[in-house]
Structure 1
Amino acid sequence: MHDPLPATGRQFEITFGAARAVVTEFGAALRAFEVDGVPHSETFDPDRLPPSAAGSVLVPWPNRVADGRWALDGEPQQLALTEPGRNNAIHGLLRHAPWQVVEHTTSAIVLQATVPAQQGWPVPLLTSIGYGLDEHGLTVTHTVENLGGRAVPFGVGVHPYPRAGEVDTDECTLRLAAATVLPVDADRLLPARPPRALEGDEVDFRSGRRLEGVWLDTAFGGASPAPDDPEGLVRHSLTGPDGRGVQLWADPVFKWVQVYTSGDFPGRGRAIAIEPMTCPPDALNSGTDLITLQPGEAWTAHWGLKTL
């Protein structure tokens, strides 16, 4: 008799030198990333669903859809209200679905899952996520392919909780490569006004701010590479007082980043999610920065974590 699987399914480990990562079967979530035994992402018990969506893959949309309603070519769509307290559909359709392993080596793994045509989402998609470790850290590769017979818009996001080793979150400094902030209503966290430019105010993290006393569940836009970045990548970071920590980098298509501070992350208390997104909250209605795939067309993008 086999032991029962944990709530997140099988656990897949990859290693490279002193680096190690663990990915779950259900949701294809990043459950651990560490170097020399030092954690650089928050972890969680494999026998419980990822707390506060930790490590989750958010596809075919990140964040929220107001009332779960949107329209495709003028046809009304109604998604399940997976955030019923706010009457929203949240974080896509594959967070708790089983993903199939299509490749697994010592240092890399690729998993894929299908978004079938269903109520609220009439066009099937094939999506995959690859996690790979090398001398530069962790690289994550997303692909989405339109399996249907009509064009469809979509977005992708992820929900990692980077961690600057053993340093308390309140002692860390957050830096974001974001130029705007999206005002939202307090009750439903949906866009209330257009994005506004950051001008050195309380949510401007471009030059870095210590996190003590900071509480966020905030979408930032205008994320772009620094003009002198040799690789043309968007770079956010979380560092301790000694300047060491972790950098979250992303392709420029990840123009948005949601930042969420948790006060009760299991085993940790204060923790921070830095969530690269290709589009903002409720983009299926606003159309802002949605990606459109034609039938048979595929899309690929990358992000990753590296130690500092």
Structure 2
Amino acid sequence: MTHRPRRRHTVNTPPRTESHPLLLSGKQVTINHGTYSATVATVGASLRTLTHEGRALVTPFPADSIRPSFHGGVLVPWPNRLADGIYTDGSTTHRVPVTEPDRNNALHGLSCWVDWQVSEISAASATLSTTIAPQPGYPHAVAVFATFSLSDNGLEWVVDAHNVGDTTAPYGVGIHPYLQPQTDSPLDQWTITIPANRVLETTPDRLLPIRLHPVQEFENGIYDFRTARPIGSTRMDHAFTAVTTGRVTVHGPESRGVQLEWDPEVLPWAQLFTSDFGHPDFTRNGLAVEPVSCPPDAFNSGEDVVRLHPGATHRAVWTLQAL
């Protein structure tokens, strides 16, 4: 899927960013519209906060901290796990850095720890950009733009990737927000809807793909959330597909909620993770909902990998909204 890249203009108004000393999550860019407010940290182009009428819709993290567990990050040029950090493209085998050493995987691409540049900003919108330079393991040049825009309908989050090199690049994309319908209730009490018919079984030690199953048949249907029901004690770090509607909803016990929408034609997979970290500040206090363009280890299986040709652009769009 290709699009003509949008023309981009750098505005003269200085961006509203914090500086000196540099915070651990980078510069902070705040946008507002009506009852919505969001803060984006430049390291990883990460959605650090999103609120509606003062209520958090995503699990926040402190600005002066190293972002935990990919909170709010943009995942390019691949989301999820790449086994051993090794893949073959054509006749060439490539090796990228292993960033999940306990499982020996390369996790969530190459841009999560890059300090992105603020290239455009207005009161209700900001665009951050970076270029993935040709490098060992990924010898391609891809310019990436992440745009965050607030409106009455919530937050629209757009990621455009433009191949500025002369080689065809394998490419995948995702985002990593942790949804939080209300802060004063545990995840076990939240009710979720996942309109997906199939779930991916993975190896227990490395979370690498084994096979797809109908959600109602795998593990006695514990991952079947096609009809809204409480999460309860379910522990989840699974990829779902065969998505009927690109929309995950999460409600707290007081019926307040948040939803994440996307186009399943562009993003046919969604990874969901119940944040079972064992960390006192970030254990089961947010539901990671990661609509992505391809499944785990896609650079090896080839499944749903985008072939981004020289000059081509790929666009993915997500919308976060209070319920």
TM-score normalized with structure 2 length: 0.89
Q: In structure 2, do the counterparts of structure 1 residues 83 and 39 end up closer, same or farther at CA, with 3 Å as the change threshold?
A: same
Mapped contact 2:222–2:234 kept (Cα < 8 A): no
Deviation at 1:294, TM superposition (A): 1.0
Partner of 1:202: 222
Partner of 1:147: 164
What does 1:122-201 correspond to in 2, within 5 Å? Answer: 122-166=139-183, 167-193=185-211, 195-199=212-216, 201=221
The more displaced of 211-220 and 261-270 is 261-270
Partner of 1:249: 261
Residue type of the alignment partner of 1:259: L
Deviation at 1:266, TM superposition (A): 5.7
Deviation at 1:265, TM superposition (A): 5.7
Deviation at 1:244, TM superposition (A): 2.4
Q: For 2:140, what is the secondary structure of its paired residue?
A: coil
- 1:245-296, CA deviations, whole angstroms, 9 ceiling, x for partnerless residues? 0010012211111111124566454222111111100000111111111111
Partner of 1:240: 252
Residue 74 (structure 1) aligned with residue 86 (structure 2)? no
Count of residues in Structure 1 that have an aligned counterpart in Structure 2 = 298
Partner of 1:231: none
Deviation at 1:168, TM superposition (A): 2.7
Residue type of the alignment partner of 1:300: R
Residue 259 (structure 1) aligned with residue 272 (structure 2)? yes
- 1:155-194, CA deviations, whole angstroms, 9 ceiling, x for partnerless residues? 001110011023332211111121110110001000022x
Partner of 1:120: 137
Partner of 1:228: none
Partner of 1:276: 291
Q: In structure 2, do the counterparts of structure 1 residues 15 and 157 end up closer, same or farther at CA, with 3 Å as the change threshold?
A: same
**Structure 2: 5+ residue stretches without partners:** 1-18
Deviation at 1:240, TM superposition (A): 1.7
Residue type of the alignment partner of 2:134: A
Residue type of the alignment partner of 2:226: R
Deviation at 1:134, TM superposition (A): 0.2
Deviation at 1:241, TM superposition (A): 2.8
Q: Percent identity?
A: 38
Q: For 1:276, what is the secondary structure of its paired residue?
A: strand
Mapped contact 1:179–1:198 kept (Cα < 8 A): yes
Mapped contact 2:268–2:294 kept (Cα < 8 A): yes
Deviation at 1:224, TM superposition (A): 3.3
Deviation at 1:212, TM superposition (A): 2.0
Residue type of the alignment partner of 2:272: V
The more displaced of 130-139 and 206-215 is 206-215
Q: In structure 2, do the counterparts of structure 1 residues 94 and 136 end up closer, same or farther at CA, with 3 Å as the change threshold?
A: same
Across the aligned residues of Structure 1 and Structure 2, the Cα RMSD in angstroms comes to 1.4
Partner of 2:68: 51
Q: For 1:81, what is the secondary structure of its paired residue?
A: coil
Q: In structure 2, do the counterparts of structure 1 residues 287 and 275 end up closer, same or farther at CA, with 3 Å as the change threshold?
A: same
